[in-house]
């Protein structure tokens, strides 16, 4: 949905676009728009369960007391509880308590199902389906290389400024 003076229009851009770092968003129940989480708590995406991984969610998310045991698909041999919207009672995701190695990274984290949540992107003031966005985290080495390149640019800039200052000082000293 997009705020357009008095109406909200739902946007569906087709292909998933990456929600880049620095772009803030809130996540809402698609049924009743209750706030479930924000982009500062997003740890990535679990494609095999079509879910966004959160390290924390709002108090509006209720964890079911009932623990389920998966017996097929990706959740085979997993113990998990459902996450529900505290406002409308809809299921919005899962929290995995115990899992085999392939889901080890998601243990004890909150998994909000992309099809069940909407995403409000703050800088564009637009509501988009979470399924239209990608929350993949770049590999750490890629991020380190980007930061290193930035530092090298700053360092070169500092060196040339220092050289200019030295040139001016030598003229003044004469
Ligand atoms: Zn709801």
Beta-sheet strand order (sheet of 117-121) = 7-9, 2-4, 126-129, 117-121, 25-29, 35-38
Distance 155 CA to ligand 1 centre (A): 50
5: which 2 tokens?
């003076």
pLDDT tens profile 85-137: 999 999 999 999 999 888 888 899 999 999 999 999 888 888 888 888 888 77
Angle (nearest 5°) at CA 46 between 40 and 48: 165
Give 129's strand partners.
118
Distance 75 CA to ligand 1 centre (A): 24
pTM of the predicted structure, to 2 decimals: 0.70
Distance 93 CA to ligand 1 centre (A): 12
On whether the 2-137 domain is CATH 2.40.50.700, my answer is no
Residues near ligand 1 ion, CB 5 Å cutoff:
29, 31-32, 34, 85, 87-88, 90
Domain boundaries, the chain: 2-137, 138-174
């Amino acid at each position: 949905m997009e705020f357009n003076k008095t109406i909200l229009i739902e946007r569906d851009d087709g292909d998933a676009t990456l929600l880049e770092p620095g772009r803030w968003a809130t996540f809402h129940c698609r049924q009743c728009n209750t706030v479930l989480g924000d982009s500062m708590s997003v740890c990535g995406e679990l494609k095999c369960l079509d879910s966004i991984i959160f390290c924390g969610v709002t108090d509006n998310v209720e964890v079911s007391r009932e623990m389920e045991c998966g017996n097929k698909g990706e959740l085979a041999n997993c113990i998990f509880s459902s996450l529900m919207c505290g406002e409308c009672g809809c299921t919005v995701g899962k929290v995995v308590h115990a899992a085999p190695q392939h889901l080890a990274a998601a243990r004890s984290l909150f998994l909000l199902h992309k099809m069940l949540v909407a995403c409000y992107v703050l800088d564009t003031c637009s509501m988009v389906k979470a399924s239209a966005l990608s929350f993949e985290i770049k590999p750490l080495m890629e991020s380190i290389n980007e930061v290193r390149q930035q530092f090298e640019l700053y360092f070169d800039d500092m060196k040339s400024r220092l050289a200019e200052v030295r040139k001016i000082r030598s003229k003044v000293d004469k």
